[in-house]
Structure formats: structure tokens, C-alpha cells
Structure 1
Amino acid sequence: MTKLWEFFLLEPAGGGGGGGAAERAEDPLLGSGEEEAVDDYRALCKERPRKRAGEAQANLPMRIAAAVVRGLIRSRKKLMARAVTFPQRSKSTGLKRYLGRMRSGKNQMDCSVIAPEIFPEIEKWRPSWRSFDYDELCAATDRFSSDNLIGKGGHAEVYKGQLADGQFVAVKRLTKGGNKEDRISDFLSELGIIAHVNHPNAAQLLGFSVEGGLHLVLQFSPHGSLASLLHGAKGALKWKARFNIALGIAEGLFYLHEGCHRHIIHRDIKASNILLTEDYQPQISDFGLAKWLPDKCTHQVVFPIEGTFGYMAPEYFMHGIINEKTDVFAYGVLLLELVTGRKAVDSSRQSLVIWAKPLLESNNMKGLVDPSLDVGYDPEEMALTLAVASMCIHHSANLRPSMKSVVRFMKGDRESLELMGKPRPTKPPMFDSCDSEDYTRTSYLNDLDKHKQLALEQ
């Protein structure tokens, strides 16, 4: 029987490595992933001189296996990209017409410019939003000077700015890669979600700009993000401020999950996405990864899997399954950060969840509490916070509480503690290995550790 790697030694019809794709197109045994694997192999062979053929032959099995895996991965990604679990809400006529023009190639413009026909649609979302000129943003940020850079992530940079009227703003400049259509579509999607958000614990958008790039203009937060304050060199936050921040974030998430006209899953709750106002009120920001949760749907399956390691729920990073409990898990990690003062992933690449789980199970409060707090905290509030954190980071999504229950409990409703620990009566229709009876804490921690290694090797 011919081995898999030996199959790739067969010359294509016509000999000499020519033809290739034309001959394979007639072969029903090759899928798209395998065809690409053949291409990888042939390209690999062409790179090596003929005189080193013996060496190439010796290493052939491993190299062919790698080529096959790469081809199959690409094939899998294409299939997942085509699989839409839930259809998106239809766009307005103006947006559909504009995106259609982009697909047909009729819009020969710079990728940072959005056609004028889109503006009436955006203005309907939130009439109070301003459309800023690029020159105005350049003047406000000193031409996006590095001295004014206050935040940077994989998809955007944030600059501090001052408008002509003296108002301080935060200008978010989107830097996400991809083609023109994807960038503009993502930008409009984020604007569309923010337009439905109106809560004291959510960042306030003042306007946008589409000249010279895609920009969002937000109210400036004088204390920066929770990450900079909690893990920076500005001095330790007092416990009372930390507890109030935890409660404010819970109320903001409860609003997103149940208070909006359509339920919103943020998908990127983390310390650097929590902004703090003058009086230390938290505001949830950065809706770039946010998703609508369709009515009467228990979950969605999304691809690609995006987010920040250390905050991602196991069912999300293993299966791409998201719902409100995805944010609940991340909120639990935030609670641990507030209590311990440690980062979700520290400098030694240790996951906070993995580190904290044994201490939570043994009720070792002293081992968990940030040493900088000393004894300057309310023991009852600390116990409540740790109890909620423990439930929120449960490996089974069904056993995590809703944000409604979290808010009630954090506000002093002790009776909801028992209800928070009970599973919901219905399970997601898709099987989730994280919910199986033999999926233990050890299995969960092992999966989390494996994912950590994969994420940090990228």
C-alpha cells in the first residue's frame, strides 16, 4: 500500500513538475486542502538544488506531513468562514449599495474613505454624533504624536487630544489589517453597536472621522484604564474604589446583556478596556469584537476566535461558542485582578485563573488578597467578591451566574448566592465538552494551560 508521503513523489502528467493544478483539477480524490498541500510540497522541492535531493528525501516524511497539515488547516478555515450559524441583520439600503460597489470594484478610492451616501445612514443611528474633519483631529493630537499615545492594541491606537473649544477627547485610530471592505464593514459594525448603547458604565462616543483613516472620538477618561491604574506605578487603588469599580462593570454588562434593545456580547472584557472617569466610575469601552445575540438563541459559533488570552472562556477558545456567559467568565477574571492585584497573565506567563483556582477552592483569602491592601478592606465584601469570582470562572458555562444575579448579589442580596450556583434549566443545543460530567477541574486547567502555550507561541 502506498504511503501518504510516497503519493507526493509521483510526477504530475507531463513530467518535470509542470502542469500541476490543471492535472489535479481532474482528480476527484484531491480536496482543496490536499491540492494546496501538493502545491506546498512542490514549491518546497523547487527551493532545493538537485544535488541535495538525497537530503530532501531523508527528511521527506516529516516535511510532507507538515505540508498536508497546512493544507488541511487552510481547507478547514475556508469551510468555517463559509459556515454562518446565524444570518446577520440585513444592512440598510445605503450600506448594501455601497458594499456592493466595493465588491464590484467600482469604488476606486482610498481604503480610508467612506462614500458620502453612508453618512445619512450613520446619522440616523445617533444624531448627536459629530463627523470630525481629519485636520481637526490632527490639530487636537499634534498630528497623532507619539507623546499623546495613551493606548495601543492589536486593532487600534488611542491618542489623547484637545479640541479647539478646550474639550479633551480620546481619538481611537483603527489599525486592523485586512482588505478595504473588511475594515470599513468592521468600522460600521462597531458604530452600529455603539449606537444602541446608552449607559453610565459604557464609554461615550462623541463622533467619528473617515478622512485619512477610520477614527472614533470618545470622551476622555482622566484616570485612563483600569489596567494602567491597577498594574501601573500610580499607587495602589483602595479597596472601596475597587469594589465600586467591580459593581459598576457588573451593571454595565447587565445592561449590555439584558437592557439593550438587542442583546450584546462584548467578547473582549479586560482591564485595559475598562476606562475610569474623574470619580473612578468604570466605563466599558472598545466594541470592536462585540456581537449581537439573536433573540431566542442560546449561543453563536464564531470564527476566527479573537480576544485576549487569560480572559477567554474555555468553550470559546476550544469551540468558538459565545453567549453572555463568555463575558461572565471575563468578568470573573477582572474580579480576581481587582482582589489580587495580579495581571490576567503575568510576566512569567502564569495564568491568573490557573494560579487562583486552588486558593479559591481552599478558601485561602489571605493568599489571594493583594498585599498592598494589607488589612484595609471589608472582609465581608472581600468574601462576596471572591465567591462571585469563583462562580464566574467556572469551567462550565451553564454553572456561571447571569450578570443580573451578579449585580443583585454584589448589591447585598445574599439570597441570590444560592440561586447563582444553580445551572440553567436548558443546555445549549450544541454539545460542549466543558459541560460533560467527566470534565473535571484538572481537565479544564490542562486545556487552559495547553491553550496558553499555543497562544503565547504565536
Structure 2
Amino acid sequence: DKPPWRCFTYDEILLATSCFSPDNLVGKGGYAVVYKGTLSDGQLIAVKKLTKGDSEQHKEGGFLTELGIIGHVTHPNTTPLIGFCVERGLHLVFPFSPHGSLASVLHGTKSKALEWSVRRKIALGTARGLQYLHKVCPRRIIHRDIKASNILLGPDFEPQISDFGLAKWLPEQWTHHTVTPIEGTFGYLAPEYFMHGIVDEKTDIFAYGVLLLELITGRKPIDAMQRNIVVWARPYLESCSIQELVDPALAGAYDSNQLRKLVLVATLCVRQSPLWRPCMSQV
């Protein structure tokens, strides 16, 4: 059994984050802001303060859904929850990830190039986490917001899938379902999702394919010229010009066989039709 979560007081959260000091702000999204903090015992934490919600009721509904989903999830490649606080707003408390997110390490201006072995480790660990959510979890889950900024990196760069704010339970009987409004991150959205609102496990598979292309190329999903990474990569994928895809920052230091396998998986995952994409157990 999972240990019970700790219910923090607002004063504990305030003390840990130095009164939500701007210096401790480490992340900001459409639904929440995240602050770094230190508990009285010295443990480093990340406090996710929920901000999104048309009404308090809507915000609380989202908070309880996320809490319920995290409660089902226990895997080395998903972020564990330490506790929560419901005084003066809604807060979730997680262990702090010393290396930050994949986005900050891969695209940050100060970071040195990620080695090939680390990129491969992140690709494999994220796949294991998704396989767990889709197939192994007591109730199957679609994440709906797989992206580099939601992949946190542990001390040894082991990836952890975070942010279950948009996650949905998969129905018992296998069937896709339609969701409105369309939420998620542009650049990672599967065509059938942003065009028709259709969501199932293949929505996450498409986003995982985009993530693989990011790891291979070092490019962002949408570049400064608003070009989509899938559209940019497709001619190279179709002509098997694999070397042209590789991040120049790697300076040729990669394993060709591993690269070929990752490129093949990425190609299958970003197929236009969800029917042609593999499921995570095939990945």
C-alpha cells in the first residue's frame, strides 16, 4: 500500500517557499504555478499551486480529479506525491527534481548538450511510464499532456511523467471518447484530437513520438518560425536521411543502431491515422 499523503498547513507551505517568493518560482502553466521549497527537515519540494478554474467549483473538481488519478499511480517513471494543502487555495506537494524538466535541460540556454545515453534513457523511461498508465494501472489513464516540460528528471536523469491536470480515465470497455474543450500543448496534439476532440491512448502515443523527435533533433516542437517538428522531420523520415535529423550538439557522439530504432519508433508514433500508430506495449 502507498503511504498516506501528508496534509500540510498553509503556514508550512508559506515557510517552505519563503512566502511564495518570486525567486522560488520554477514553473508556470495554464493551470498552475510551481514553487521550489524546503521543508523543516531539509527535504526539497515542489509546490504546485492551482490557478485555473472558471469557478471555485471547477477548480476544486480539477484538483480532486488530479488527486484521484495520482492516487492510482505508483511507478518509478511517474512523479510521486508527498502531500497537499487546501487552505487558501489548492496546493499539491511533490519531491523537487534537481535537474528540472527535459525542456529546461534540452532547450535551456545554460545547459550543456544532453549525452546520447541520457536521451535514450529518458526515451525508455518515459515509454515505461506511459505503458504503465495505459495498461498496468488499476484503472487505465490517458495523460493528454505529454511534453518535454512535463517530463521531470531525477538525480540520475531517470524521467518521471508529471502533471496529471488534464489526465482522463480510460473507459473500461475499449472505445475512444470525445472531449471538449481541446486542451493540451500545440505541437504535441494528435490531428484527430485538435480537429475532432477524439481522445484515446493514441493521443499520448502521438505526443510521445513528438518527444522522441525532440530528443533526437534537439529542436522544439514548434520552432521560432512556427514550423512543426513533425512536418519538418517528415521528408528526412521518408527518405531515410536519418543522419540529417540528429542534434548537431551531439557532435556525432551517438549509437547508430539505437538512433535507427528511435527514429523508427518516432515515425510510427506520429502517423496521421491513430489506427496506424503502435500501442505503448509495442513500443
The TM-score range, normalised by the shorter chain, is: over 0.9
Larger radius of gyration: 1
C-alpha distance in 1, partners of 2:66/2:72? Answer: 10
- Give the equivalent residue in structure 1 for 2:96: 220
Q: Name the CA distance, whole Å, in 2 between partners of 1:281 and 1:274.
A: 10
The 5 A counterparts of 1:38-77 are none
Map 1:25-424 → 2, pairs under 5 A:
128-232=4-108, 233-406=110-283
CA distance in 1, matches of 2:40, 2:225: 45
1:1-16 aligned within 5 A: none
CA distance in 2, matches of 1:126, 1:132: 18
Measure the CA separation in 2 of the matches of 1:360 and 1:214: 45
CA–CA distance in structure 2, aligned partners of residues 299 and 281 of structure 1: 31
Deviation per CA, 1:115-148: give whole Å up to 9, x if none: xxxxxxxxxx965200001110111001111100
Structure 1 gap ranges (5+)? 1-124, 407-458
Q: Distance in 1 between matches of 2:254 and 2:88?
A: 49
State the percentage of identical aligned residues: 61
Determine the C-alpha separation between the residues in 1 that align with 2:81 and 2:193. Answer: 29
SS at match of 1:316: helix
For residues 99 and 81 of structure 2, the distance between their equivalents in structure 1, rounded to whole angstroms, comes to: 17
Q: Provide the C-alpha distance between the structure 2 equivalents of 1:172 and 1:347, rounded to a whole number of angstroms.
A: 29
| TM-superposition CA deviations, 1:216-246 (whole Å, max 9, x none) | 0001100000000000121000000000110
- Kindly state the Cα deviation for residue 375 of structure 1 after the two structures are TM-superposed: 1.4
* RMSD between aligned residues: 1.0
Q: TM-score, normalised by structure 2?
A: 0.98
Task: Deviation per CA, 1:265-288: give whole Å up to 9, x if none.
Answer: 000000000000000000000000
Classify the secondary structure of the residue corresponding to 1:403.
coil
Give SS of 1:169's match: strand
Alpha-carbon distance, 1:297 to partner: 2.5
Instruction: Give, in angstroms, the shift of residue 296 of structure 1.
Output: 1.5
CA deviation after TM superposition for structure 1 residue 365, in Å: 1.2
- Structure-2 separation of matches of 1:145 and 1:345: 31
SS in 2 for 1:398: helix
Q: CA deviation at 1:176?
A: 0.4
**Count of aligned pairs between the two proteins:** 282
SS in 1 for 2:281: helix
Using the TM superposition, give the Cα deviation of residue 212 of structure 1 relative to its aligned residue in structure 2, in angstroms: 1.3
Deviation at 1:311, TM superposition (A): 0.3
What SS does the corresponding residue of 2:122 show, helix, strand or coil? helix
- The secondary structure found in structure 1 opposite 2:34 is strand
Q: Secondary structure at the match of 1:161?
A: strand
Q: Given residue 348 of structure 1, which amino acid in structure 2 is its aligned partner?
A: M
CA distance in 2, matches of 1:215, 1:191: 10
> How far apart in 2 are the matches of 1:344 and 1:289?
19
CA distance in 1: counterparts of 2:139 and 2:223, whole angstroms: 36
Aligned equivalents of 1:281, 1:295: Cα separation in 2: 31
Q: Distance in 2 between matches of 1:212 and 1:224?
A: 27
What SS class does the counterpart of residue 359 from structure 1 fall into? helix
Looking at secondary structure, tell me which structure has more strand per residue.
2
Q: Which has the higher helix share?
A: 1
Structure 2 Cα separation of the partners of residues 129 and 401 of structure 1: 36
Distance 2:102 2:25 in 1: 17
Amino acid at match of 1:297: W
**Whole-Å Cα distance in 1 between the matches of residues 174 and 215 of structure 2?**
32
Q: Quote the Cα distance in structure 1 between the aligned partners of 2:193 and 2:142.
A: 12
Q: In structure 1, how many angstroms separate the alpha carbons of the residues matched to 2:52 and 2:146?
A: 19
Amino acid in structure 2 at the alignment position of 1:401: P
